[in-house]
């Protein structure tokens, strides 16, 4: 089969398509014939040599995909049959013509969605679901500040916060991204290039601060985050796009706010946790993709590239111009 490959860590120019052996499904695994796979920051970091796949995972890029069930491994429970369309979360291997996935990581594709749209759901939406509900314990009526509001996780978190009855606020870097975030349901957006988002969030909340922050930026935002955090607020860190170093009195400021700072990753979680989360997401959230009216949610796609243009797709993600997801289509 063809798979995205790089011989040594570095820039996008190191990526190419290589013929590699097709994987064989193990105990309780399904072989998925991949139609599309979405790009994630984890792919960029792995290509740069900064983010190794979890032990035992494929070293091929790609942590979410959609396609058709091609084969069932021994011990599968019978939920899926050959030919079924599915979308799936995976610890690696998605940017190839075939990938093996534990059957508990597969989800049905919502009615009305294309395979490229479905490929944009698993990692981004499960991450947003995890951050908001399982880690952040969001409640109706609470304000949620979502950094990188136009990203895949950001566009998912806006919509999930909205249908949970919370008030999504976002930070973004352009007017176009602001308009899109508001269309998805953001109550307000703050352009971090033009204003202090911390002051703007305090003004919006009439001085109370935000109850929950979803933060993929890290170091460079720590002071503004803690300044606009409400008393007893929760700050969930899930990325370090703004660096890992903190200089200053973070702990005293956090203590004064009685704040909770919790860090979370999805890729490194164990199989049992991911299966529990996939099941909860399938039951509670997946039906909303096919609903009509205000409870409807939708994946946001920016561009679809043929996988042969993998270098261009990585360059585009690194430009930070995209709104929503970048998807790769596999040759069929």
Q: Please write down the long-range contacts of 309-318, taking CB distance under 8 Å and 24 or more positions apart.
A: 310/4, 310/12, 310/15, 310/16, 310/17, 310/95, 311/12, 311/13, 311/15, 312/12, 313/39, 314/12, 314/15, 314/39, 314/43, 314/44, 314/47, 315/12, 317/39, 317/41, 317/44, 318/12, 318/44
Task: Judge whether 213 lies within some domain.
Answer: yes
Per-residue model confidence (pLDDT) at position 87: 97
Task: Judge whether 173 lies within some domain.
Answer: yes
Per-residue model confidence (pLDDT) at position 81: 94
Task: Judge whether 254 lies within some domain.
Answer: yes
Phi, psi angles (nearest 5°) of residue 238: -135, 10
Structural domain for 210, as ranges: 127-263
Task: Judge whether 217 lies within some domain.
Answer: yes
Q: Strand pairing partners for 170?
A: 146, 189
3-state secondary structure (DSSP) of residue 268: coil
CA 55 to chain centre: 21
One-character DSSP codes across 101-157: EEGGGEEEPPTT--HHHHHTSHHHHHHHHIIIIIIT---TT-EEEESSTTSHHHHHH
Task: Judge whether 21 lies within some domain.
Answer: no
3-state secondary structure (DSSP) of residue 13: helix
Per-residue model confidence (pLDDT) at position 324: 87
Q: What is the pLDDT along the chain (332 residues), one digit of tens a residue?
A: 999 999 999 999 999 999 999 999 999 999 999 999 999 989 999 999 998 888 888 999 999 999 999 999 999 987 899 999 999 999 999 999 999 999 999 999 999 999 999 999 999 999 999 999 999 999 999 999 999 988 889 999 999 999 999 999 999 988 889 999 999 999 999 998 889 999 999 999 999 999 999 999 888 888 899 999 999 999 999 988 888 888 888 888 989 999 999 998 877 788 899 999 999 999 999 999 998 888 899 999 999 999 999 999 999 999 988 888 999 999 88
Owner of token pair 């749209």:
117
Task: Judge whether 330 lies within some domain.
Answer: no
Per-residue model confidence (pLDDT) at position 307: 96
Side-chain-side CA neighbours of residue 14 (13 Å): 14
One-character DSSP codes across 191-254: ETTTS-HHHHHHHHTTTS-EEEEEES--GGGHHHHHHHEEEEEEEEE---TT-S---S-HHHHH
What pTM did the predictor assign? 0.91
Per-residue model confidence (pLDDT) at position 54: 85
Per-residue model confidence (pLDDT) at position 222: 84
Total domains in the chain come to 1
Number of C-beta neighbours around residue 326 at 10 A:
21
Task: Judge whether 182 lies within some domain.
Answer: yes
| CATH number assigned to the domain comprising residue 152 | 3.40.50.720
3-state secondary structure (DSSP) of residue 259: coil
Task: Judge whether 145 lies within some domain.
Answer: yes
């Amino acid at each position: 089969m063809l798979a995205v490959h790089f011989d040594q860590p570095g820039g996008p120019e190191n990526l190419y398509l290589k013929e590699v052996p097709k994987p064989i499904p193990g105990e309780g695994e399904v072989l998925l014939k991949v139609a599309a796979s979405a790009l994630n920051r984890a792919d960029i970091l792995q290509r740069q040599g900064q983010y190794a796949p979890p032990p035992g995972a494929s070293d091929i890029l790609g942590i979410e995909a959609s396609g058709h069930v091609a084969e069932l491994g021994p011990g599968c429970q019978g939920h899926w049959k050959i030919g079924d369309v599915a979308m799936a979360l995976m610890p690696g291997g998605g940017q190839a013509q075939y990938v093996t996935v534990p059957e508990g990581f597969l989800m049905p594709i919502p009615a009305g969605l294309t395979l490229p749209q479905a490929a944009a759901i698993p990692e981004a939406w499960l991450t947003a679901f995890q951050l908001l509900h399982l880690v952040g314990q969001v409640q109706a009526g609470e304000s949620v500040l979502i950094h990188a509001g136009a990203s895949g996780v950001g566009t998912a978190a806006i919509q999930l916060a909205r249908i949970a009855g919370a008030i999504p606020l976002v930070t973004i870097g352009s007017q176009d991204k602001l308009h899109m975030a508001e269309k998805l349901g953001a109550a307000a957006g703050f352009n971090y290039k033009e204003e202090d988002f911390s002051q703007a969030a305090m003004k919006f909340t009439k001085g109370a601060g935000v109850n929950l922050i979803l933060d993929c930026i890290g170091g460079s935002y720590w002071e503004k985050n803690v300044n606009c955090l409400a008393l007893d607020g929760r700050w969930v860190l899930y990325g370090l796009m703004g660096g890992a170093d903190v200089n200053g009195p973070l702990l005293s400021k956090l203590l004064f706010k009685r704040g909770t700072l919790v860090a979370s990753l999805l890729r490194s979680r164990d199989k049992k946790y991911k299966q529990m989360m996939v099941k909860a997401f399938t039951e509670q959230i997946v039906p909303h993709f096919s609903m009509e009216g205000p409870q409807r949610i939708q994946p946001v796609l920016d561009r679809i590239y043929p996988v042969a243009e993998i270098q261009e797709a990585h360059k585009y993600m690194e430009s930070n111009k995209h709104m929503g997801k970048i998807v790769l289509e596999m040759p069929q």
